Chain A
Amino acid sequence: MAEKKKMLLYFLADLMSDDVVMDRFLEDPEGMMHDYDLSEQQKATLYSLDPLRIGSVVGAEAQLGLENAVLSPQWPVPESRVRGVEPRRVPAEVVPAFRLFGEGLMRNAEVVLRPVQGKGPDLVYVARDSSGSFQETELCVREMDLSRAAPGRYRVCVRNFSGATLIENAVELEVA
């Protein structure tokens, strides 16, 4: 079973159910999150105050917790998905480092930016850098050139390699 620490889900649950925890959080957010061993990705998600983004992470943790604990032997492997990106809002220029957080993502995967409004072609980049484990993967696109991207919202999708099924997610990038 997943440890209680290291999960945003438990942190939020304690925060909402225990006023002492809430008081400590308001007094020292960083210290409190450190006590729960939250990762930089989890902290950034919380600080975003974006319900969709927080919900996505918490949902993934809940699913993993359930899968790992009881409901499934997680056999053979969990599904691939993107849980978050950093940054989430960028100017239409070259982005030095665009990071994706998720699971089951491959090094050299294609990162596909699909206009939410359905206008314009997909923008495709390759994430040559990767780190972490299967279930906590971080991919990075270096020098992502968005100088010709139309302003607007883009759905961040991934294709693990050219020709693989597109992994569609609710995660978005806004090009200002």
Chain B
Amino acid sequence: MTFTTSDRLRRALARMPAPLLGERARDRLLAFSNAGAPDVDLVCVECRVSSDQADQVDVGLSAASHRARSALAAHVRQLALGQAGVAAPERWHAAAACLGRWATRGTDEARALRAVFLEYDLDTAGAPAADPSLFFNAHELSHAWDRPRTLEGLCRAMTWLVGERAPALSEALELVLGVLPENFHLAHLGFMIPRPDESLRFFIALPTPELEGFLRRVGWGGSLAAARDFVGLADRSGWVSVALGFGRNGVHPRVGIEAPVQGHPGGASRLIAALLERGACTPAKAEALRALLAAAGPEERYALSHAKLVCCADGGLEAKAYVTFAPSEVTMGRLSSIRQIRARAAPAMPEAG
């Protein structure tokens, strides 16, 4: 049986314990799923875990496979046509055209943008769907040791996705690229379309010892003093990932440090325990997260993708957890033993080594 994204959301809603999702948030998520979400590869729900607050929930839709790309492109086309209650359909015209090409095999957009995500902030009462934010995976475009190439590729992608608004955003891009350390990886870039105080968000991995210096150089006025322990938790082989926003007033005061489950010893359960120990997750929410992850059935797969600690310039901290829902029927297919190659392709070759 194949479930649509809306089906998956509804099934997940039924399994999400109350501490993670308050009644109002539940209602909004249900309204969102009933409105008909595109059938994407992965659905991600963002939950605030450092406080008992559970009224706000954001949902992300991620597409990488061609089937999902087509669905996401069709959804954005609806936004551009003003059929989904968005505030300014014209803001979606360039993205709709770009994603139409992106969903077509072999195009420049298909090759350059490996995945695209939409994130809906379901924090307002009223209509279930408004303008989402739009993110793209920039793995193909980030070249730490060739910044002109990185700048050129990212500017081109921004022009594809936001058209004439790209030049205004490229200023922030040039600033960030100009102050990054020698080693970096710009993993994702996001257009925060519904946010009044943020227009562009960078998701960057950089050497952990370079993080604070980079934030100072880029103009962030806060301190990571209260987050050093979390930075250690987020470190993976010397890399730490940071989410940094820009708006018309420059660097956004909130900076996110992201701790992925991937690479964390002991996986999700140990990461949740570590958050709990550090006071970044309430006991009720830790318990609820564990219960949700254990609730995966034969037809769906729930996983904790990562946790994010949001550090405010005024010293405030807030932690979030990102839970993904994906179908579990995905398999790679069996790969025959590579010994067959050894036997058939080069029978006369001597032993290696």
Residues of A within 8 A of B (CB): 1-3, 9, 12-13, 15-17, 22, 25-26, 29, 46, 48-51, 54-55, 58, 62, 65-66, 68-80, 88-89, 104, 106-108, 130-135, 159-161, 163-165, 167, 174
24 contacts between A and B (CB under 8 A): A1-B114, A12-B341, A16-B340, A51-B339, A62-B335, A65-B332, A68-B115, A70-B42, A71-B42, A71-B301, A72-B303, A73-B44, A73-B115, A76-B241, A77-B241, A79-B262, A80-B238, A89-B353, A104-B239, A107-B144, A107-B145, A133-B139, A134-B139, A134-B144
Q: Please report whether the interface of chain B is mostly helix, strand, loop or mixed according to DSSP.
A: mixed
B124 within 8 A of A: no
Tell me whether A167 and B237 are in contact (CB under 8 A).
yes
B66 contacts A by Cβ under 8 Å: yes
Q: Which residue of A lies closest to B111 (CB)?
A: A3
Pick out which of these stretches binds chain A: B47-55, B71-79, B182-190, B281-289. Answer: B182-190
Q: How far is the CA of A7 from the CA of B95 in the complex (A)?
A: 29
CB-CB under 8 A from B65, the residues of chain A are 1, 69-70
Extra contacts, 19 of them, besides A104-B239, A160-B239 (Cβ < 8 A), are A48-B352, A49-B346, A51-B339, A62-B332, A62-B335, A66-B330, A70-B42, A73-B42, A76-B187, A76-B205, A76-B306, A77-B239, A79-B262, A104-B205, A104-B237, A132-B143, A134-B144, A160-B207, A164-B238
Given A49-B346, A134-B185, A71-B338 contact (CB < 8 Å): no
Residue in A16, A25, A88, A107 whose Cβ sees the most chain B Cβ within 10 Å: A16
Which residues on A sit within 8 Å (CB–CB) of B145? Answer: 107, 130-131
- Contacting residues, chain B, for A3 (C-beta < 8 A): 111
List A contacts of B139 (CB < 8 A).
74, 133-135
- Residue-wise interface mask of B (99-136) relative to A, using a CB-CB cutoff of 8 A (1 in contact, 0 not): 00000000000010011010000000000000000000
Whether the pair B346, A78 counts as a contact (CB closer than 8 A) is no
Number of interface residues of B (CB under 8 A): 62
Contacts of B301 in A (CB 8 A): 71
- Per-residue interface assignment for chain B, residues 204 to 237, with 1 indicating a CB less than 8 Å from any chain A CB and 0 otherwise: 0101110000000000000000000000000111
A50 touches B143 (CB 8 A): no
Question: Assuming A134-B142, A164-B237, is B338 touching A22 (CB within 8 A)?
Answer: no
Complex: how many Å from CA A132 to CA B65? 25
Residue of A whose beta carbon sits closest to that of B187: A77
Contact (Cβ within 8 A) B353 A74: no
- CA of A79 to CA of B262, assembled, Å: 7
Tell me whether B326 is interfacial, beta carbon within 8 Å: yes
B330–A70 contact, CB under 8 A? yes
> Which residues of B (296-317) have their CB < 8 Å from a CB of A?
301, 303, 305-306
Determine if B39 is an interface residue (Cβ-Cβ < 8 Å): no
* Alpha-carbon distance A165/B203, docked complex (angstroms): 22
CB neighbours (8 Å) of B303 from chain A are 72
Q: With both chains docked as a complex, state the minimum distance between the C-beta of B329 and any C-beta of chain A, in angstroms.
A: 10
Q: Nearest CB to that of A11 among chain B residues?
A: B341
Say if the beta carbon of B198 comes within 8 Å of chain A: no
On whether A49 and B342 interact (CB within 8 A), knowing A68-B115, A70-B326, the answer reads yes
**Given A72-B324, A165-B235; A106-B342 close (CB under 8 Å):** no
Partner of B305, one of A1, A58, A73: A73
* Interface pair A165/B352, CB less than 8 Å apart: no
- Distance between B276 CB and nearest chain A CB, rounded to angstroms: 21
Chain A residues closer than 8 Å to B245, beta-carbon distance? none
B188 pairs with A75, CB closer than 8 A: yes
Encode B339-353 as 1/0 by CB contact (under 8 A) with A. 111101110010111
B6 at the interface (CB under 8 A from A): no
- In the complex, residue of chain A having the shortest beta-carbon distance to the beta carbon of B186: A134
Closest residue of B by beta carbon distance from A73: B62
Give the docked Cα–Cα distance between A70 and B331 (Å): 10
